[in-house]
Structure 1
């Protein structure tokens, strides 16, 4: 497992045209199943579970959740048992099949019951031996892990881009910028419709938003929703760079970066870092969009 992911200078015609340098923090290379922000958000949760002597990890997510798969793999790697409450009707798909292969027990619950995660957890047997990890690894421990991205950087950047689902990763990056006393402007791209709430979530986790700007117009209809222009963009970027991205998180955030570059939002000579948050197994549920 890579402890520090590389910063890769990208070659793309748009960057040359706009006279900027764009680097990518390759957190997708950390691990094939516990990659990117999933590994970072789980790090301190796993350490705390071990310190408390808990032997079972309990978490929550949807049927195509990268987080669920990451917890399943992390549990198997760390000697834990694992269970996950899956939102919605019982189904089988490649992501859930891999979770089962890692030994995770899947508990399917109605969308209504899923809303009360604390109640679901309390109904389990031997909760005193279990450790609860929130959906997506959200929370202070997750943000703490993500803050370490900034301490790993070997270069200085003018702008940093990251996708946001719960706000935990973005909060961590903002905290890392403040801790390292860097002058980067953090650009956060919510992947959900109505993503303004991300700012509140980041602040509740202790992030200072003075050096942060949210870009709310790149959700493409909502979480995991896509449009033909996004699919075409993802295909083009992968084919031009050889770097795999997916349309739920990295695709939307990169689209935002490219769109802002086209609109001349950055000065010539700017150095820009894009954080690849991994989650490539999510492509398994999106491949149908690339088959037309």
Structure 2
């Protein structure tokens, strides 16, 4: 039986000479600690989708993801935990079952379907989704990354759980977390989205598509200068920063999402971007399982 109740994740205060010198307060919302097995924003996004699946009395779940995807990992965990059969269309063309993410998914009993990159590109195409719905009857389809209207509800709840602040910062991949946060933060709070993909100017339109009210809000912006080379790419300074935060502040980071956001935020603080006495809340959206994938590929 699916039970969506869980305790709220903790807030961690970061104390550092830089923050004192710039007179800013930095809090981290530790959503990586939100759920024992389904971390961070992936739980926020899946929660209301799973409730909708239950409401519709669907028998199974189908979604999409890359071979090292946090969404694939979280969906597999949810499938096992709540006994919901799941099909995952994986960007292939082949499955490497030594990959820790796919190995976990397989261990959870998820049905993995590798497709060519060409077919994978059709994942938002209505005709393709219609064919999948016919192929897998009474199956609830969740988009790649989990970003849809039900995901926004979970991210709005995240926003409503945050302490009062001048700025809220989050990493942006598909735009769903930011679009949902916008519904829950006060108009007086600035929302900064750190894009982890290179050339992701299209995300502005994605956010507006997911949340049309964003068009009338002037308290959010996407920052495109902190992708560190593109999705999944990172240099030594970023990885050194992640290791420093773990060592000095006991804050574990991966260099794909939250690490990029925190490193970008740190650089903005160094440059004096934030007025004195600003209170900043940075959201740790989880994804720490990605470290296993980086180790597997010998990238760290």
Give the Cα separation in 2 of the matches to 1:116 and 1:281. 27
Give the Cα separation in 1 of the matches to 2:130 and 2:18. 49
1:239 CA drift (Å):
1.1
Residue of structure 2 in register with 1:183 after alignment: 188
C-alpha contact (below 8 Å) 2:187/2:219 kept by paired residues = no
Matched, 1:116 2:126: no
Give the Cα separation in 1 of the matches to 2:207 and 2:129. 26
In structure 2, runs of 5+ residues without a counterpart are: none
The aligned length equals 286
C-alpha contact (below 8 Å) 1:161/1:189 kept by paired residues = yes
Residue of structure 1 in register with 2:240 after alignment: 232
Structure 1 stretches of 4+ moved >4 Å: 123-126
Give the Cα separation in 1 of the matches to 2:292 and 2:134. 33
1:31 CA drift (Å):
2.0
C-alpha contact (below 8 Å) 1:27/1:276 kept by paired residues = yes
| Pairing partner for 1:200 from 205, 209, 213 | 205
1:285 CA drift (Å):
1.6
CA deviation string 1:155-189 (max 9, x = no partner)? 31011100000000011111112xxx441101110
Residue of structure 2 in register with 1:270 after alignment: 278
Residue of structure 2 in register with 1:160 after alignment: 168
In structure 1, runs of 5+ residues without a counterpart are: none
Give the Cα separation in 2 of the matches to 1:241 and 1:121. 48
1:32 CA drift (Å):
3.9
Matched, 1:260 2:271: no
C-alpha contact (below 8 Å) 1:19/1:269 kept by paired residues = yes
Residue of structure 1 in register with 2:31 after alignment: 27
Residue of structure 1 in register with 2:96 after alignment: 91
Give the Cα separation in 2 of the matches to 1:11 and 1:121. 52
Give matches, 1:68-87, under 5 Å.
68-87=72-91
C-alpha contact (below 8 Å) 1:231/1:289 kept by paired residues = no
C-alpha contact (below 8 Å) 2:227/2:260 kept by paired residues = yes
1:120 CA drift (Å):
6.1
RMSD: 1.6
Give the Cα separation in 2 of the matches to 1:158 and 1:281. 31
1:73 CA drift (Å):
1.0
Provide the TM-score with structure 1 as the length reference: 0.93
Give the Cα separation in 1 of the matches to 2:189 and 2:294. 33
Residue of structure 2 in register with 1:17 after alignment: 21
Q: 1:273 to 1:82 in 2, by over 3 A?
A: same
Give the Cα separation in 1 of the matches to 2:140 and 2:32. 26
| Pairing partner for 1:135 from 144, 147, 155 | 144
Provide the TM-score with structure 2 as the length reference: 0.91
